Chain A
Amino acid sequence: MARGAVLTGTYFMNGDEACCEGALAAGCRFFAAYPITPATEVAERMSERLPEVGGIFIQMEDELASMAAILGASWGGTKAMTSTSGPGFSLMLENIGLGLCTETPCVVCNVQRAGPSTGLPTLVGQADMMQARWGAHGHYEAIAVSPSSPQEMFDFTVWAFNLSEQYRLPVIILADEVVGHMTERVVIPLADDIEVVDRKKPKVPPGKYLPYHPDPDGVAPMATAGEGYRVHVSGLTHDERGYPVMNEVAQEEMIDRLVQKVRRNVDRIIRYDTFLMDDAELAVVAYGISVRSAKRAAAEARKRGIKAGVVKLNTIWPFPEDMIRDLAGRVRALIMPEINYGQMVLELERCAAGLCPVRLVPHAGGAIIQPERILAALEVAAKETA
């Protein structure tokens, strides 16, 4: 029996499947992807679910095509998503760049595995963090979110769609293999209780419409194919009409728009959570699956008399600069566990700006970070800053 788009109820579901349900609840009706571990389950479930809700699933010939197809679908007026992992994400960057340049709303879920290259296809990594920020050539601002549980795979996928529709850009979900494959309780709310944002549409007639003229919030309303606005969409540097203009003035105007629409709205975009932070003297700043190791470590540290807490980064990009700067002035040290050899810790150091020591708990990938390693780092930091 065909099911609806919002499967309200409580489920035992893995993260990839929850991501799929989140997309459908957010209004996604087009999905194009290429199979890749550990993101395949998103595509598998989408292939079954989308036809049930009148949507389109297509398995493309590669990730270049998948990314191009979701951009085309978004300009066809549909909310669209793709899912992948490291090697596929590398291929998608070409058209993520096109999506950024043409301000095309869509969602890319990267269920990270360990790399580089083919790496460890079935095992966890968190090493595409900087790639999500700077991977496409040229200068731009990116939005990326990082879920830590199957429930958040649902919630954050809805949120990612809302961000992409609101700010007109491809939003990256930086999930990871463990979050994608872990099966947990997932609660899907009533459709009415799910906040869904749709792209702004032009309020002026076709002759008056400038497709890249931003509103005061920095974002331009978006007319799509068939609405009579006869849009021209180009990956070349373009003016507010969307027409290619090859000079530095047009370039500055366009880059400024791409950057400011995110920078001006950071307070509305950035989200984080805190645990045991009220009286914390040491803060573990973590994201994705590593948050769960961090929470355990902080709880253990408390038992040993160390006042530790956890700051969980829900938004990775834009990075919460002000929050970290403020935090660095209040705690004795910052500790960041991540399943790479030091990526987001560079941002942490930059924002802490020497106000307190910053310590990295690195892991090359293939397994989660054991809480004991974070606990050890907390003990060292406690001793050093006593």
Chain B
Amino acid sequence: MTAKRRKAASPHPHDALLRTDRIPHIWCSGCGVGTVFGSVLTAIQKSGLPPDDIAMVSGIGCTGRMAGYLNLDSFHTTHGRAIPFATGLKLARPQTSVLVASGDGDLFAIGGNHFIHAARRNMDLTIICVNNFNYGMTGGQMAPSTPFGAKTTTSRIGNCEEPFNFCSLAAECGAVYVARWTSLHIRWITDSICEAMQKKGFSFVEILAPCATNFGKRNRIGGAVELAKFFHERSVIRNHIDPKEAVLDFNKHLVVGKFVDIDRPTFMDNYELINRREMENWPGLEGKKLRPAAPVQG
């Protein structure tokens, strides 16, 4: 069996980065994942990095299927474990720019512990989270992102739990880059992924995406068009605010923007420093955590 390439009359600029023999994809019409994936591909092209030095790791779920369509080294792992898998890949091959693309359930419910620790370590990864406010792949169950009161197949009367603010969580845990957009903010998403890929350290880009099949319908927001309209009307850009203040209130505003862009040594920076015996003795280190990153050799 060999990979058959469908020859289009005029190739799309993204074709080289797509496993076109796997198209059509599995995503529903009206889904936001495709838009985000398009932005990822543009960002990869803009990065100017050699394609063989970029890899994508994803977990399980609708967004988890991104890795399967990307024509680069790509890894579709177990539910919740994309970040630790990516950690091993990055540390074994530091020259690779590792993107992790997954959903809100994968990254923050089953994979929540890995997310917070990778952020704490400042592992040099770019995390792209498509937040569709529910578990889409399994038919629309409640997730750690589901708004209070929202209806899902496992919260039929209404969700009795409060959701996470992922951006605030990422910032609190030590992420050096944190941004949130809706899937309508195509250029902002692309720019943020570009910036995140350039950034050394744990970067987090959250994209609020419509799930027309499950979330939109069940919560009477409507289908793809109505959800897009909803995001368009409710989203407000507030750059550089404290991500704690960047709340998602479906009755008022969905706050988006770039919230965090700081520098702090990565895991590898400090690993090399300490093993070269060049790190100061503890506790003299106190208060010096934000030293500029040391150049990495090789």
Q: Which residues of A contact B (CB under 8 A)?
A: 29-30, 32, 51, 56, 58, 60-62, 64-66, 68-78, 80, 94-95, 97-98, 208, 210, 225-236, 239-241, 243-244
**Which residue of B is nearest A234, CB measured?**
B76
Q: Flag if A98 contacts B84 (CB, 8 Å).
A: no
Which residue of B53, B87, B95 has the most chain A CB atoms within 10 A of its CB atom? B87
B residues within 8 A CB of A78?
92-93
Q: Nearest 8 A-B pairs (CB), nearest first? A: A76-B92, A72-B88, A69-B88, A65-B84, A73-B88, A72-B89, A68-B84, A73-B92
- Minimal beta-carbon separation of B60 from chain A (angstroms): 8
A250 to B75, CA, bound (A): 19
Q: Flag if B68 contacts A243 (CB, 8 Å).
A: yes
A residues within 8 A CB of B89?
72-73, 75-76, 225
Q: Flag if A64 contacts B84 (CB, 8 Å).
A: yes
Tell yes or no: B113 within 8 A of A by CB. yes
- Minimal beta-carbon separation of B266 from chain A (angstroms): 13
- Minimal beta-carbon separation of B277 from chain A (angstroms): 10
A60 to B113, CA, bound (A): 10
Q: Flag if B74 contacts A68 (CB, 8 Å).
A: no
Q: Flag if A80 contacts B88 (CB, 8 Å).
A: yes
Tell yes or no: B296 within 8 A of A by CB. no
Checking A68, A226, A229 against B88 with a beta-carbon cut-off of 8 angstroms, the contacting residue is A68
B46-77: which residues lie under 8 A (CB-CB) from chain A?
A: 51-53, 55, 57, 67-68, 71-77
Which residue of A66, A76, A233 has the most chain B CB atoms within 10 A of its CB atom? A76
* Additional pairs, 12, CB under 8 Å, beyond known A76-B89, A95-B78: A61-B117, A69-B85, A69-B88, A71-B85, A72-B84, A76-B88, A76-B92, A94-B81, A95-B85, A234-B67, A235-B76, A243-B19
**Which residue of B is nearest A231, CB measured?**
B73
Tell yes or no: B250 within 8 A of A by CB. no
Q: Flag if B76 contacts A226 (CB, 8 Å).
A: no
Q: Flag if A68 contacts B77 (CB, 8 Å).
A: yes
Tell yes or no: B170 within 8 A of A by CB. no
A234 to B27, CA, bound (A): 18
With A210-B1, A225-B55, A225-B73 in contact, is A65–B81 under 8 Å at CB? yes
Q: Flag if A56 contacts B271 (CB, 8 Å).
A: yes
A56 to B57, CA, bound (A): 20
Checking A64, A94, A230, A239 against B72 with a beta-carbon cut-off of 8 angstroms, the contacting residue is A230
Q: Flag if A69 contacts B84 (CB, 8 Å).
A: yes
**Which residue of B is nearest A51, CB measured?**
B275
Checking A210, A226, A231, A244 against B93 with a beta-carbon cut-off of 8 angstroms, the contacting residue is A226
Which residue of A68, A70, A210, A233 has the most chain B CB atoms within 10 A of its CB atom? A68
Checking B75, B113, B267, B275 against A72 with a beta-carbon cut-off of 8 angstroms, the contacting residue is B75
With A68-B85, A228-B52, A243-B68 in contact, is A76–B76 under 8 Å at CB? no
A residues within 8 A CB of B3?
241
Checking B53, B68, B88, B113 against A232 with a beta-carbon cut-off of 8 angstroms, the contacting residue is B68
A residues within 8 A CB of B217?
none
Q: Flag if B93 contacts A232 (CB, 8 Å).
A: no
